Amino acid sequence: MIANTQALTKAMFMIAFRIAVIVILAIQAAACERDEHLLLDNDKVIDINEGVAISNVPNMNDPDLNLVRYEEFLKYLASSSRYIMVTQEEFESAWSPDKVIVSLRHDVDRHLNGAMKIAYREHRYGIRSTFYILHTAEYYGSTSKGHFERNNRVLDFLKKIQDAYGHEVSFHNDLVTLQLVYDIDPRPFLKGELSWLRDNGIRIAGSVAITAPHQMTEASDFLVQGQSQAKASGEEIILPQPISEGIKIIKDKRENYALTYDGDYLVTDYNFSDVKIMPDGRRWHMALEDFDKIPAGKKVIILIHPHFWD
């Protein structure tokens, strides 16, 4: 009788012990999941390389255009089964009869740090996009009359965007300004920069041009449009329509630079951009659209300038 009682007590103890272990493991697993989430949400810096890190904290200067709102949109895209997210290079060949094809395009006109914050957040949600890097921006280098000096450190940022986060890096063309303001022949410049980027592992397939008019303040003051005035066939890299007569713009074919597409001429059903100013004076942002109403089978490009959002 005593032996049976001892055996029963031992069996009950083992059952209770196993239940306790299971409960402890479940609590630890839940804690790990919470900790991982908290660590992700509180990742205050982005490590660019071993010696360089930038702040990952969003600037909240605008109630509509900020990275918190942008991340809410990314979460919406990632959680919906309606969308297929592609890069600009993939856009023309992408098609689905029952999904909406979406490509996020980023023209990095000013601050590369803001682009890094966007690239990080898109990567969190498994979204790949395209970043057009501007060669006349201060982050890329220093341009003066007849002279250009590259900032080699930009490579570390571009590799982080491309290799760590899986995005596409493309070329933001300001070659008309290069020729007319800085007296630099755009053809050898473009060949040299594309070779340098590609030799260092940055896979450049496409290009878009600065589309806003530039005010030139040289002796013969005039306005000139960028590549946005090029023929829709996309055969020319530089084919603007100068406002002033007698200005010869250097032209060349895209194929001479192994560029396979022009982002300004990708055929799309819906084209949204944060450069658009609404009738009430506000800048366009995603909350102004009902993306659920876009029919399946359609294709969408959304242009986001990082400096407006951070």
Helix (H, G, I), strand (E, B) or coil at 177: helix
How many CA atoms, within 13 angstroms, populate the side-chain half-sphere of residue 191? 8
Residue 253, pLDDT > 90, answer: no
Q: φ and ψ at 15, to 5 degrees?
A: -65, -45
Residue 153, pLDDT > 90, answer: yes
The CATH code for residues 58-309 is 3.20.20
pLDDT of 269 reads 98
- Distance, in Å, from the CA atom of 211 to the CA atom of 301, rounded to the nearest integer, reads 16
DSSP class of residue 97 equals S
- pTM for this one? 0.79
Across the range 159-179, mean pLDDT stands at: 95
Over residues 198-239, the pLDDT tens digits come to: 999 999 999 998 854 333 333 232 233 333 333 333 334 443
Arithmetic mean of pLDDT over the chain:
82
Across the range 103-112, mean pLDDT stands at: 96
Residue ranges covered by each domain of the chain: 1-42, 58-309
Q: What are the residues whose beta carbons fall under 8 Å from the beta carbon of 260, sequence distance 6 or more? A: 89, 205, 206
Query: Which two three-digit tokens encode residue 180?
Result: 């007319």
Kindly indicate the confidence band of residue 252, based on its pLDDT and cuts at 50, 70 and 90. confident
Helix (H), strand (E) counts: the chain: 8, 14
| Burial category of 139 from C-beta neighbours within 10 Å (exposed 0-12, middle 13-18, buried 19 and up) | middle
Element housing 261 (H / E):
strand 261-262
